[in-house]
Chains A and B, each alone.
Chain A
Amino acid sequence: MPFYYTASTWAGAGQSAAVTTAVTSTLGVWNSWIDAATTSSTNCIWAAWTADEIEARRQELREFEEKRKASGDRASALLLHYLDERQRADLAAHRWFLVDGKSGVRYRIKRGDLVGNIEVLNPDGSVRHRLCGHDRQIGLPLDDQLLAQKFYLEHHEDEFLRIANRH
């Protein structure tokens, strides 16, 4: 994978003069980069990563994935802790669980894509419409998002209905 450098960042990285070519098209730049390892247009340069750099990026990616999995596992465990037996069974079987608001309205919180993942149910179980409301600042793992939605719907239903987008 190549890095993208401007002339100034290339110099800032302690590199000497860039190898230049007369290539100006995108395809030409790629072909030239593949052939010659480095190429440039008039004011930027593509440079190949060294083997050490590639390994460093791979290690970063591995560590990121490990942290992401660990945080997801912690969130899942916490969510399950706060669900009752019926909710846990529904989540396992259908990837959703039901929550009752103080208004008497029943909500179905679906695990998956967070966009419109809350279904507002009619008394007969049909879907009236969908709601979209979640954390957008902290970067909560998915199951923490579901837990937050559950607490909001159970205890701050009116506020949640005000802030959530309706689909």
Chain B
Amino acid sequence: MNGEMETLDSTGHTRTTWDSENSAEVEAARGQFDVLTRKGYKAFRVKRDGGEGEPMKSFDPEAEKMILVPPLQGG
């Protein structure tokens, strides 16, 4: 199964994909997820069709799709 993670950034977003059967790809995606969530990014499990999301605390290689949102601050 192929997983997908979209990280909001200055380019609009960056898409990371992995094959859940490929341990190297999974670990690379997990590493990225961990680095960003430690920086305060919020992670959400979402559906490919854009349907309702739900917060997630840890990387799930079986997740169909995730989105990572940078920390917001008072303006």
B: interface residue count bin: 20 to 34
In the complex, are the beta carbons of A74 and B13 less than 8 A apart?
yes
Contact A151 B42 (CB under 8 A): yes
- Asked if B6 is at the interface (CB within 8 A of a chain A CB), the reply is yes
Q: Quick one: which of B11, B13, B42 contacts A155, CB cutoff 8 A?
A: B42
Which residue from B9, B44, B46 sits with its C-beta under 8 Å from A138?
Answer: B9
**Complexed CA–CA distance, A136 and B44 (Å):** 20
| Number of residue pairs spanning A and B whose beta carbons lie under 8 angstroms apart | 94
What residues on B are CB-neighbors of A164 within 8 Å?
Answer: 72, 74-75
* B69 and A133 contact, CB distance less than 8 A: no
Q: Which residues of A contact B73 (CB under 8 A)?
A: 133-137, 163
Structural contact, B75 and A72, CB atoms closer than 8 A? no
Chain A interface size range: 35 or more
| Contact call A132/B10, Cβ cutoff below 8 A | no
Asked if A147 is at the interface of the complex by the 8 Å CB criterion, the answer is yes
Contact A82–B42 (Cβ < 8 Å) = no
For A116, list chain B residues within 8 Å (CB). 75
CB-CB contacts of B16-52 with A at 8 A, as 1s and 0s? 0000000000000000000000000010101000100
* Contact between B42 and A152, CB atoms less than 8 A apart: yes
A144–B13 Cα distance when bound, in Å, is: 8
Listed from nearest, the 10 A-B pairs whose CB atoms lie closest are A74-B12, A132-B75, A165-B74, A139-B10, A75-B12, A71-B12, A81-B50, A148-B69, A144-B8, A133-B72
Instruction: Give residues in A with beta carbon < 8 Å to B.
Output: 67, 70-75, 77-78, 81-83, 114-116, 132-141, 144, 147-149, 151-152, 154-156, 160, 163-165
A sample of 7 more A-B contacts (CB under 8 A), given A70-B11, A115-B75, A160-B72, is: A71-B12, A138-B8, A144-B8, A144-B13, A151-B67, A151-B69, A163-B72
